[in-house]
Amino acid sequence: QVQLQESGPGLVKPSETLSLTCTVSGGSLSSYYWTWIRQPPGKGLEWIGYIDNSWITNYNPSLKSRVTISVDTSKNHFSLKLSSVTAADTAVYYCARFFYSNSRHNWFDPWGQGTLVTVSS
């Protein structure tokens, strides 16, 4: 079964770039879509974007100018970069498989355990 694990720095300085990696086990990156979601402490969920199995990306317009999602097939992981961060970017960041069925129905499952990133000097 597919499992995901986020990794990366837990503290980023304002104006710098947040970089996270999601390592996938039990499945091939080229078989599915992959996505990032974040959750500020005590708040709700915000979709960040996805990368599909042709390595085409789609980002939330609210973050599009600052976000890059990419894949490294040799390491079976995908990555998130968010530039020019501020305190408002402090959140738990989750990666997940973005599953598309033949019927066009789609959903996020499974999710990684999440990693807290704090933006502070």
Partner 1 sequence: DIHLTQSPSFLSASVGDRVTITCRASQGISSYLAWYQQKPGKAPKLLIYAASTLQSGVPSRFSGSGSGTEFTLTISSLQPEDFATYYCQQLNNYPRTFGQGTKLEIK
Phi/psi of residue 3, nearest 5 degrees: -130, 145
Q: Total residues contacting partner 1 (rule CB under 8 A)?
A: 21
Using the contact rule CB under 8 A, the part of the chain among 11-19, 23-31, 57-65, 73-81 near partner 1 is 57-65
User: If we measure between CA atoms, which residue out of 110, 67, 93 comes closest to residue 8?
Assistant: 93
25 binds partner 1 (CB under 8 A): no
> Which pair of tokens denotes residue 61?
């317009």
41 binds partner 1 (CB under 8 A): no
Are 77 and 10 in contact by the 8 Å Cβ rule? The answer is no
CA 61 from chain centre, in angstroms, equals 15
> Which pair of tokens denotes residue 16?
């710098």
Q: How far is CA 79 from CA 17, 43, 62, 82, 102, in A?
A: 13, 23, 19, 10, 26
Using the contact rule CB under 8 A, the part of the chain among 9-17, 42-50, 66-74, 78-86 near partner 1 is 42-50
Beta carbon of residue 60, minimum distance to partner 1 (angstroms, whole number): 4
Using the contact rule CB under 8 A, the part of the chain among 19-27, 69-77, 79-87, 108-116 near partner 1 is 108-116
The residue among 73 and 113 lying less far from partner 1, judged by its C-beta, is 113
Q: Which residues bind partner 1 (CB under 8 A)?
A: 44-47, 58, 60-62, 94, 103-114
